[in-house]
Amino acid sequence: MYTRLIIGLLSIAFAGLIISTPGCSDSTSSGGLPETVSYNFHIRPLMSDRCFACHGPDKNKVKAGLRLDIPELAFAELKESKGKFAIVPGKPEESELVKRISSADPAYQMPSPESHLPLLTENEIELVKKWIKQGAKFEKLWSFIPPKKAPLPKVKNDEWPKKDLDLFVVKKMEEKGLKPNEGADKERLLKRVALDLTGLPPSLDFMDRFMADESENAYEKVVEELINTPAYGERMAVHWLDVGRYSDSYGYQDDNIRTQWPWRDWVIHAFNNNLPYDKFLTWQLAGDMLPDADKEKILATGFLRNHKYTEEGGVIDEEYRVEYILDKTKTFSKGILGLTVECAQCHDHKYDPISQKDYFRMFAFFNNTPEVGYEGDISVSKPAKAPRLEITTADLDGVLSFIRQLEKDTMMVSVMDELDTLRKTYVLNRGQYDSPTDEVKAQPLSEVMGFDTTAYPRNRLGLAKWTVDKSNPLTARVFVNQVWQMIFGQGIVKTAGDFGMQGDLPSHPELLDWLAVDFMENGWDIKYLVKQIVTSATYIQSSSVSKENLAIDPDNIYLSHGPRFRLPAEFVKDLILASSGLLVNKIGGPSVKAYQPDGLWEAATSGRGVLATYQQDHGEDLYRRGMYTFIKLTLPPPALMIFDGSNRDQCEVKRPQTNTPLQALVMMNDPTMLEASRVLAEKLVEEQSGSEDKITKAFRLIVCRVPKESEKDLLNSYFSEQLGIYKSQAIDPSEVLNVGEYPHLEVEKSEAAALANVIQLIYNMEESITKT
């Protein structure tokens, strides 16, 4: 029996990891063609995949003098075939493009065999023909067109929507033959929204209050309470720490310690204070350049200084200085604009209309900082690189009161500053630091939006103003999409970091634009945006899936059921700590070193610096939230990485979701999980209640609902068997209980060990660490 239950535990653990990852569907069906063929949504994706490598924006790679990304050139007479034209609007039969993509002759067909690109299907060929027949109308890239609020759509199912955004969702469902789900039951809905808004499970008291509240606005009251708890800022900050590549060390070979954590405290504070997103960005990009700049705004610019730094002797100063500016440019473009601008560092972008000159014009905004590539003596590591902001204990009583504590009376944080004189910027041949060519001036991407130099200075403050201008087509769209992704597991644009030609098209373009405009119209209010989403009928749906909907939309792109995916890495740990009563709810402060296998740091170190060996923390520091775990860039925390945590090596806007046996093994063997099981068991044994009540309470704390009778029977049977084993001394209960540093309670050991095993099994249920 014992062996079978262990096998069952393994099965449950592994089953908990089999969680589908949302995918993307084709923009056109495999059958008929759309009534009106769109260049943006039908033709451009085909050309970007099959044509632009040789006939796209990279002028250095253009073959036969043909470019298909610019209408004037696409319609022009072919340079190598006089009297012939690639595209003749209205006349597909005369268009050389159609002849080539339809040909079976390897010497004539396109894409050519040498390109190793797949040929167009019959359906795709017919799509191109129809587009040309309808006039071959080119359009600006959809994401470069400023969003507009489309009229709210008329729908058949007009009783289901709760928010305006629901109308766009149900309209798409009706077009696809889908039906929305019924609402989730109150227990599962509460767990879902608590995890989404705080990253923590609801307490028993919270569950009881919500279940007893029969008022019409009971759920709205829950949302309001959760979004105004300090844990909300921590939950929202985790994503931005990925974007801002926050870490506690410098990276590279020596990888010594640095003190950027006060910037993390600021991010939490900004979210909790609901700092509008336009200010949130402006302060991080150019807080030091604002007329009313104070230490808080300057601290915010640490966002641009979180990249890696070398402390190795013998490096070339200018090479690494340029590397740091390249990182800033990539972080800004990917994290805020949602574009793969870094592709143009060495050559013109092969797919998007971004030249190498455009890239270095962007680079120029960040090139005027006084930071250097290598600072100081190799034997002396500094916890912050110049330019630095000094934070004193006196500052904690003033504008920096949100910082929890200082490690010393005075701390330094790396921030931004400007040189007194303008440093010249050059296009670097092949992106090499020592190969300057043409001089350029600071200017954002003109294809995205013009840059009025009479309104915007050519510096980071001008860049920030350009970024948050309501006419900028990307900024609001990109952030709204990131928030949607945080809540539903997948953005309306699946490629959250690529809104360019190679990125996925939005599944609900009108909804994305409506949300972006609504967000800006409401003062870039982040809490307003989040509340809009989590109080919608789309969000509160049950996550169960009907066979009919599953057959039509297996990846839930069209949102016919509620979100269902495993918790992010930090929140897996948070759920374990919170449900067991171990969690120390302190906001902010220095990072902590929790339990970790021996020898990992020592095996990946140069041997220099305070991080050469791992010195585990003790006491309360062991039970801080996952987001405060110390991140060493050369060897990030293994338990977090196994659950797809970001290694913070560079800007990341979407984490992968993998399923591996290591994840199940962490849930079964990680010291934090085993300690939590032991501590919760000892607390429950101390209570004056029956074993069934103890197990039911543990189940509610972890899974956040009352167990079914069948679940109770299984768990109670397992408990009885385990209790018999320990009481018979077949196994010493100390083998289960002697784990972790948290003080033991004086309780009966056999009962505590048996209950700890039951709790461990509950933690390993698929539902426990999954948002259902």
What percentage of the chain carries pLDDT values higher than 90? Answer: 85
Contacts of 626 (CB under 8 A, 6+ apart): 569, 570, 571, 572, 573, 574, 640
User: Considering the chain, what is the average pLDDT of its residues?
Assistant: 93
Specify the length of the chain in residues.
772
Contacts of 663 (CB under 8 A, 6+ apart): 17, 642, 643
Q: What is the pLDDT of residue 17?
A: 35
In tens, the pLDDT along 632-686 reads 999 999 999 999 999 999 999 999 999 999 999 999 999 999 999 999 999 999 9
* pLDDT at residue 15 tops 50: no
Categorize the per-residue pLDDT at 20 as very low, low, confident or very high, splitting at 50, 70 and 90: very low
DSSP structural state of residue 431: G
How many Å is the Cα radius of gyration of the chain?
Answer: 28
DSSP structural state of residue 95: B
Q: In this structure, are strands 410-414 and 565-566 parallel, antiparallel, or unpaired?
A: unpaired
Q: What is the 3-state secondary structure (H, E, C) of 632-693?
A: CCCCCCHHHHHCCCCCCCCCCCCCCCCCCHHHHHHHHHCHHHHHHHHHHHHHHHHCCCCHHH
Instruction: Answer whether 729's CB lies under 8 Å from 745's CB.
Output: no
Residue 65 token pair: 């003098």
Categorize the per-residue pLDDT at 3 as very low, low, confident or very high, splitting at 50, 70 and 90: very low
Instruction: Answer whether 576's CB lies under 8 Å from 676's CB.
Output: yes
| CB atoms inside a 10 Å sphere around CB 191 | 22
* pLDDT at residue 4 tops 50: no
In this structure, which amino acid lies at residue 265? D
Categorize the per-residue pLDDT at 25 as very low, low, confident or very high, splitting at 50, 70 and 90: very low
φ/ψ (deg, to 5) at 191:
-60, -45
Categorize the per-residue pLDDT at 28 as very low, low, confident or very high, splitting at 50, 70 and 90: very low
Q: What is the pLDDT of residue 26?
A: 39
In tens, the pLDDT along 543-585 reads 999 999 999 999 999 999 999 999 999 999 999 999 999 999 9
Specify the residue for token string 């592709």: 343
Q: What is the pLDDT of residue 380?
A: 87
Categorize the per-residue pLDDT at 200 as very low, low, confident or very high, splitting at 50, 70 and 90: very high
Average pLDDT over residues 105-129: 91
* pLDDT at residue 378 tops 50: yes
Q: What is the pLDDT of residue 379?
A: 81
Q: Which of 269, 538, 288, 512 is nearest to 404 (CA)?
A: 269
* pLDDT at residue 122 tops 60: yes
In tens, the pLDDT along 422-470 reads 999 999 999 999 999 999 999 999 999 999 999 999 999 999 999 999 9
Contacts of 390 (CB under 8 A, 6+ apart): 410, 411, 412
- 507 versus 606: the higher-pLDDT residue is 507
φ/ψ (deg, to 5) at 487:
-90, -40
Q: What is the pLDDT of residue 772?
A: 80
What's the helix, strand, coil split of the chain in %, to 5? 45, 5, 50
Average pLDDT over residues 18-39: 56
Residue 543 token pair: 């996550």
* pLDDT at residue 308 tops 80: yes
In tens, the pLDDT along 267-290 reads 999 999 999 999 999 999 999 999
Calpha distance 474→460 (Å, rounded): 18
Average pLDDT over residues 207-211: 98
Categorize the per-residue pLDDT at 24 as very low, low, confident or very high, splitting at 50, 70 and 90: very low
Q: Which of 572, 489, 525, 546 is nearest to 766 (CA)?
A: 572
How far apart, in Å, do the first and last CA atoms of the chain sit?
A: 31
DSSP structural state of residue 257: B
Instruction: Answer whether 414's CB lies under 8 Å from 328's CB.
Output: no
DSSP code per residue over 327-363 = HHHHHHIIIII---GGGGSSS--SSSS--HHHHHHHH
Q: What is the pLDDT of residue 131?
A: 95
Categorize the per-residue pLDDT at 30 as very low, low, confident or very high, splitting at 50, 70 and 90: very low
Categorize the per-residue pLDDT at 82 as very low, low, confident or very high, splitting at 50, 70 and 90: confident
Q: What is the pLDDT of residue 159?
A: 94
Residue 754 token pair: 């048996």
In tens, the pLDDT along 602-647 reads 988 888 889 999 999 999 999 999 999 999 999 999 999 999 999 9
Categorize the per-residue pLDDT at 2 as very low, low, confident or very high, splitting at 50, 70 and 90: very low
Average pLDDT over residues 136-141: 92
Q: Which of 292, 220, 180, 119 is nearest to 548 (CA)?
A: 180
CA-based angle 76:77:79, to the nearest 5? Answer: 115
In tens, the pLDDT along 713-771 reads 999 999 999 999 999 999 999 999 999 999 999 999 999 999 999 999 999 999 999 98
Task: Determine which of 12-16, 228-232, 297-301, 706-710 has the lowest per-residue pLDDT on average.
Answer: 12-16
Specify the residue for token string 């995918």: 23
Task: Determine which of 107-111, 362-366, 456-460 has the lowest per-residue pLDDT on average.
Answer: 107-111
